[in-house]
A and B are shown apart, each in its own frame.
Chain A
């Protein structure tokens, strides 16, 4: 990829950020929390988009952004006041801008209509008119892709290139040049200008020093010199004037054309090195500048570009920079784009190195440290480097969730508009970084849950008003770190889950027996069951034939967990707990009977050897551990997995206290802790099949396979068994065990 194409990609990336900013500011204005600086910041962001678009010759984008920006300019000067209705139009206009940019990035053709409509709306507003937007306007829109890739953007095609043959016409100019003191104040240097004139042709320079006073009278900031330059050049008068562009207001300048054919039009100026400079200076024709100039020789005295410029075929706008590069030295690039597959390979290799390193460390244990001290030291260093290597690779893949989050406001707007609701989306923790692979898999579930919140959660404005709530509903989307995991929460202040209806529905569909008694949170969990949809008519908003069960299995596939919490009349909240990475984890290896298991370190709170006094049996079977006034359920890992010879009496063995969910603790009963190490996760689903209570497997240093415990999963399995519900029943959210 050449330098400019790469810069263009960078520009599009920047556009994404700027669009996010525009959106954020407009939302603030929409909520009434914006001020003058918010309008200003929106203007700046648009301005940057426009500036970049101009640099890359994206004329259509320049035009659109310009209209948009012009309106904002009037708004920031309060010529046109910011009103909620106008902000709504701006939001729509920003959506169209997004489509336009995405289409340009993917080089696809975008239909004109929405753009023209929006442009007209913006122009009307800018002229002080009003615009009413139809509510039906935003079809759930994707940029119209899939059309034939566009050839070179028509608008960017340069006008027919200049004639290649230099016109042998020579001009003679006499230039009288007398700088004033102001010129020096602005750091303009007369000698540079005279030197530049010298670059145009042959010069003879005379300096008039007659105005210079006696040394004692010299004012160091004044100007005393005056030059007369005679110039013989093929360049036209304009090119000569152009040299004095920056100085013309701060000097006395006279240019006389002494050429015999002074009337000659300036058409032949092209081969002169300053010609491009000149073309760009004419105000008003800015759009045409770039291609025209790109076609002109970048540097003087180089034949090749001139020949190329003469070619009658329109030059693609990416081609010009290539030429620019030819003239350039090495391009400076400080970031590169890497195929995710390649990164994936590195991650896997690092995983293998971690295993090999563990193996070496294991064998080292059998050797005498006296004889093999050097080896031990080497392996210790190796393990440190392996760890930094791993961290670095993981950091390469980490990305802020912002990239996914910032696509949501638009979704909310569209769903709200299609369902006639008023909804505000509040984002939190967009900077939280997650592994790229997790982010990619996050998009679909998030879209689904947010649609759900807007479509099913938030009530219609009338219902809300009747319930005494603000007419506008709020959906919150937040991300943050907790306990070595990423927690993402989607909450709304809507009506909450209608438990009776969910229960009836589940019974009617034969998913649960009618006489089953469930706690409230267990009923809420039913919505994750396949085949349960409480909406009789599947709306095309949340529908898509995908249910919450698919969301849950998607999240679980990446080692995450999703739970729901709902309060009737007050709203619901989905909580996603995701692993930081999908490839490795810090684990504690523990022995249960003859088997070795791995407990993710992130889950572990503490380990202890309880006394018999602290262990209590429950009426319905099972035990709880009393610790610091709190009761924690105990899980006998050996019994759970049918391991022979495993410890089962908690008071005589080891208990590892783990966190199964936020504030939700479980004690695992096992024989002993073996050690702590990083393990590379091998998927059970890929290599064998998914098993409840286990999240994967790993290979230990001695070559043995150890299973990785899925702590919240175990908790769910145990609880499911305790409440007689089906083994696959939805895993429940935090619930303190009552003693």
Chain B
């Protein structure tokens, strides 16, 4: 059974980098360019985990995570937050929003895979 991961990032490069890494690790990947598009994908398709960038136009990663948590349909969805700063405040903000885990950019591909594995079977 293939797990389907939603990758949300406004940068096509970073998105593809994440997507191709996850695909190589055997996951199916759905992409979205901002938080709102991410929420749309969540409604349209069956998703097992979300990997989201923090800084995005339209709707940022924190808001996306909050929305995922407050919607009963998706409240149990693991969300991995990708941050550039590894500052404790950022992490705390993510935790408060409901992020399951976090990973700091730049990350090695393997780190992404292991982090996703940690939150999603």
- Partner-B contacts on A (CB < 8 A): 3, 7, 10-11, 14, 41, 43-44, 47-48, 50-52, 54-55, 57, 62, 184-189, 192-193, 195-196, 243, 245-246, 249, 274, 276-277, 280-281, 283-284, 286, 289-290, 293-294, 296, 298-299, 324-325, 327-329, 331-332
Contacts and interface: CB of A to CB of B under 8 A. Distances in A.
Given A7-B13, A41-B57, A274 B79 contact: no
B93 interface: no
Given A51-B53, A245-B118, 10 more contacts: A7-B20, A10-B13, A184-B76, A192-B121, A196-B117, A246-B115, A280-B108, A283-B104, A293-B110, A328-B21
Contacts of A290: 106, 108
A7 B56 CA distance: 20
Interface residues of B, number: 48
B84 A274 contact: no
A189 B110 CA distance: 20
A52 B11 contact: yes
Contacts of A196: 117-118
Contact of A55 (B24, B69, B77, B105): B105
Given A188-B119, A249-B95, A280 B20 contact: no
Contacts of A51: 11, 14, 53, 84, 105-106
B35 interface: no
B38 interface: no
A286 B100 contact: no
Nearest to B18: A55
Nearest to A297: B110
Contacts of B101: 188, 245-246
Given A54-B105, A55-B14, A332-B19, A277 B110 contact: yes
Given A14-B11, A44-B10, A187-B78, A246 B106 contact: no
A293 B24 contact: no
A246 B119 contact: yes
Interface string B59-74: 0000000000100000
Contacts of A298: 109-110
B21, B26, B118, most chain A CB atoms within 10 A = B118
24 contacts: A10-B13, A47-B84, A48-B11, A54-B106, A62-B106, A184-B76, A186-B69, A186-B98, A187-B78, A187-B79, A189-B121, A192-B119, A192-B120, A193-B118, A280-B104, A283-B104, A298-B109, A298-B110, A324-B109, A324-B110, A328-B20, A328-B23, A328-B24, A332-B16
A245 B107 CA distance: 15
B16 A10 contact: yes
A189 B102 CA distance: 15
Contacts of A325: 24
Contacts of B120: 192
A283 B104 CA distance: 9
The majority secondary structure among interface residues of chain A is helix
Contacts of B17: 7, 55
B17, B19, B106, most chain A CB atoms within 10 A = B106
A62 B99 CA distance: 26
B13 A280 contact: no
Contacts, number: 142
The 7 closest A-B pairs by CB, nearest first: A328-B24, A54-B106, A246-B101, A293-B108, A11-B13, A283-B86, A187-B78
A55 B102 CA distance: 16
Contacts of A55: 13-14, 17, 105-107
Contact of A10 (B10, B12, B69, B95): B12
B110 A331 contact: no
B8 to A, nearest CB: 14
Contact of B119 (A41, A189, A277, A289): A189
Contacts of B99: 186
Nearest to B106: A54
B107 A289 contact: yes
Nearest to A276: B110
Contacts of B56: 44
Contacts of A243: 118
Contacts of A284: 86
B20, B103, B115, most chain A CB atoms within 10 A = B20
Contacts of B19: 332
Given A48-B11, A55-B106, A187 B119 contact: yes
Contact of A331 (B24, B69, B84, B98): B24
B100 to A, nearest CB: 5
A659 B15 CA distance: 48
A679 to B, nearest CB: 39
B17 to A, nearest CB: 6
Given A44-B57, A187-B76, A332-B20, A293 B111 contact: yes
Contacts of A43: 55
Contact of B111 (A7, A10, A14, A276): A276
A45 B68 CA distance: 26
A332 B23 CA distance: 8
B78, B105, B109, B119, most chain A CB atoms within 10 A = B109
B13 A52 contact: yes
A139 B30 CA distance: 47
Nearest to A62: B106
Contacts of B13: 7, 10-11, 14, 52, 55
Nearest to B81: A246
Nearest to A243: B118
A329 B24 contact: yes
B105 A329 contact: no
Contacts of B57: 41, 44
Nearest to B98: A186
A457 B89 CA distance: 53
B117 A192 contact: yes
B106 A187 contact: no
Contacts of B16: 7, 10, 332
Interface string B8-51: 00111110110111011110000000000000000000000000
Nearest to A55: B106
A3 B20 CA distance: 9
Interface in B87-101: 95, 98-101
